[in-house]
Amino acid sequence: MYARELDGRTLTLAVDGRLWKDAMVLYDVETQSRWSFPDGEARLGTLKGKKLSVLPSAISDWKSWRETHPDGTVAWVEK
């Protein structure tokens, strides 16, 4: 999980659809730079060499999450 803020601007990240070294590639809409998902580093584009900041995150199933965080909430966007 990465922060979208970089050098004072907020990037819009999306999945590129390709793999690099067996890992997902992201791109940012603003510069079309391509980002390596495993390390958050821009590999191609104007932001090449820049790194996104890692955010704390966890992978969990819903049952375990509710047991650990009984007062937790979930947010989603309906389209």
Domain tally, the chain: 1
Q: Which domain holds residue 35?
A: 5-68
Exposed/middle/buried for residue 75 (C-beta within 10 Å: 0-12, 13-18, 19+): exposed
Residue 63 within a domain: yes
Indicate the pTM of the whole model: 0.73
Identify the DSSP state of 8. Answer: T
Joined together, the tokens standing for residue 74 give 């979930």
Residue 79 within a domain: no
Residue 74 within a domain: no
Residue 77 within a domain: no
Residue 75 within a domain: no
Q: What is the pLDDT of residue 59?
A: 83
What tens digit of pLDDT does each residue of 17-62 get? 989 889 999 999 999 999 999 999 999 999 999 999 999 888 888 8
Q: CA-CA distance, 72 to 58, in Å (whole number)?
A: 14
Residue 29 within a domain: yes
Q: What is the pLDDT of residue 79?
A: 67
Residue 21 within a domain: yes
Q: What is the pLDDT of residue 72?
A: 85
What tens digit of pLDDT does each residue of 8-29 get? 999 999 999 989 889 999 999 9
Residue 52 within a domain: yes
Q: What is the DSSP string of 25-51?
A: EEEETTT--EEETTTTEEEESTTTT-B
